[in-house]
Amino acid sequence: MSMLSVERLEMEYQSDRGPVRAVRGVSFAVERGNFYTLLGPSGCGKTSTLRCIAGLETPTAGKITIGEEVVYDRQTRVVVPTHRRAVGMVFQSYAIWPHLTVFDNVGFPLVHGKNRVPRARVRPMVERALDLVQLGHLADRPAPALSGGQQQRVALARAIVYEPDLLLLDEPLSNLDAKLREEMRQELKDLVARLNITTLYVTHDQTEALAMSNLVAVMYEGEIVQEGSPQDVYLRPASPFTANFVGKTNLLNGAVAGGGVETAHGLITIPLPDWTKEAASVVLAFRPEAVALEASDGPIAANTIRGSVSGSSFVGETLEYVVTASEDAFKVKGDPFAPFRIGDEVDLHLPSDRVLIMPGDEATRAELAAAAQLAAAE
């Protein structure tokens, strides 16, 4: 039984240059207690989808069910307004009301909202929520006197204080600095796991998506291009967009040949899926960390590209190299304790199970280019 189900959701809004189809037939379901993430670049429709679920935007078509209740259905013209939906939400700006104290911010839904509780129960419930986010000691502080991280926690406490069926998180970590973001990521994950609250998370940050989710849906141009576990999405990207947007990817053009793909760097032996029988050209994709990097020694082995190191940058836990082989440049990761120098001859070994094969048509190329650009922009 799923807690949230979205079926063929469409949303359109009017911009200065005419109508924009922000969401195009998005369908997915979130099981009770799961952490589900919509991942994509800005403008991909992930926030619009979330806002439709919260009732802050009105879709143009589709159906949304939260728990047992249909909150939006175009066919039967059901539109439940935001304040009657059983959701809690944390906004990107936190939206902490500056005229109230921390306590009153968190207590607001219990005092004024549809989840009103008797006066006597407000204090213990607010205190429990504040303790959960470790802010119990700041209850009487005026809200503007809080740091960014503390405001974030208040926003979270306010969203969970009335124990909603569904927690919606709209890029909640994007306004925090890098160190704090990492801390909060872990804390948030632990908290929702402890409360066993169904969570829908929206982010453009792949690390957040991979680290926190049970399921990730990658969105691009208003559509879900891949849904799967973090491992699926990262290790077995089903679309060129996912491959190039989530994490870094090397691309290699080639043609199908007996038992593998013939490339500018020789034959790469990999299992060939059925569709390749009709494909003239294909694209091979592999992650920088999928490659084994070794100093060149003797003749070139199978599934190996020989090149020379043309760039390296030390980022702490790893060394990122650029290896040039004839016309192509590949991103590769290496051991920071055993560095290569610029100009060193190296061999890249491509294990056949870590190389992804995709059609080499125009559509794939366009998607790859778009994803690379968007990933760079994020």
Partner 1 sequence: MAIGTPTLQRVWTSLPRRFDQRTLIAWAAMLTVAFLVVIPLVVMIAATFRPAGVFPLDAGEFTLSNYTEFASGQTGFWVVFRNTVVYAGGTMALAVPMAFGMAFLTERTDVPFRSMLYTLMFVPFVTPVFATALGWVLLAGPRAGAVNEYIRLIIGSDSRDGPFNVYTMQGMIFVTALGIVPSMWLLLVSVLRNMDPTLEEAASTSGVNRWGVMRRVTAPLMLPGILAVVIYFTIAIMESFEIPLALGITAGVQVLATKIWLIITAVDEGRFSYGSAAVFGLVGVVIGVVGISLYLWLVRRSSRYTVITGKGYRPRKIRLGAWKYVALGLVGLYLFVKVLMPFSMILYASFLRFYVPPLPENLGSLPWTLENYRNLWDYRFFGRMLVNTAIVVVAAATSTMLLVTVVSWAAVRLKTPVAQTANVLTFMPLAIPGVIMTLAFFLLFIGTPLYGTLALIVIAFVARYLSYTTRLMYSAQLQIHKELEEASLVSGVAPAGTLFYINLRLLIPAFLNGWLWIITHAAKDFTTPLLLATSGTVLVANVIFSRFEGGRFTESAAVMVVLVVLLIAVVWAGRKWIGGEVKG
Query: Edge-to-edge, what's the strand order for the sheet holding 18-31?
Result: 18-31, 2-15, 61-66, 69-73, 78-79
Check residue 87 for interaction with partner 1 (CB under 8 A). Answer: yes
Q: Tell me the number of residues near partner 1 by CB under 8 A.
A: 41
Check residue 273 for interaction with partner 1 (CB under 8 A). Answer: no
Check residue 12 for interaction with partner 1 (CB under 8 A). Answer: yes
Among 2, 10, 32, 324, binds partner 1 (CB under 8 A): 10
Q: Which is nearer to partner 1, 107 or 247 (CB)?
A: 107
Among 40, 41, 45, 55, binds partner 1 (CB under 8 A): 55
Within 13 Å and on the Cβ side, how many CA atoms surround 263? 27
Q: Which of residues 160-179 bind partner 1 (CB under 8 A)?
A: 162, 168
**Strand duo 198-203 + 18-31: pairing:** unpaired
Q: Which of residues 13-52 bind partner 1 (CB under 8 A)?
A: 19, 25
Nearest alpha carbon to residue 219 among 246, 247, 250 = 246
Check residue 118 for interaction with partner 1 (CB under 8 A). Answer: no
Among 113, 311, 336, 351, binds partner 1 (CB under 8 A): 113
Q: Which two tokens stand for residue 116?
A: 């009103």
Cβ count within 10 A of residue 197: 21
Check residue 266 for interaction with partner 1 (CB under 8 A). Answer: no
Q: Which is nearer to partner 1, 46 or 287 (CB)?
A: 46
Terminal-to-terminal C-alpha distance of the chain: 35
Check residue 144 for interaction with partner 1 (CB under 8 A). Answer: no
Name the minimum Å distance from CB 113 to partner 1.
3
In the block, which residue shows the tokens 């249909």?
70
- Strands (DSSP E) contained in 52-206 are 61-66, 69-73, 78-79, 87-90, 166-170, 198-203
Nearest alpha carbon to residue 253 among 104, 357, 159 = 357
Residues making contact with partner 1 (CB under 8 A): 8, 10, 12, 19, 25, 54-56, 58, 60-61, 74, 77, 79, 81-85, 87-89, 91-95, 97-99, 108-109, 112-115, 155, 158-159, 162, 168
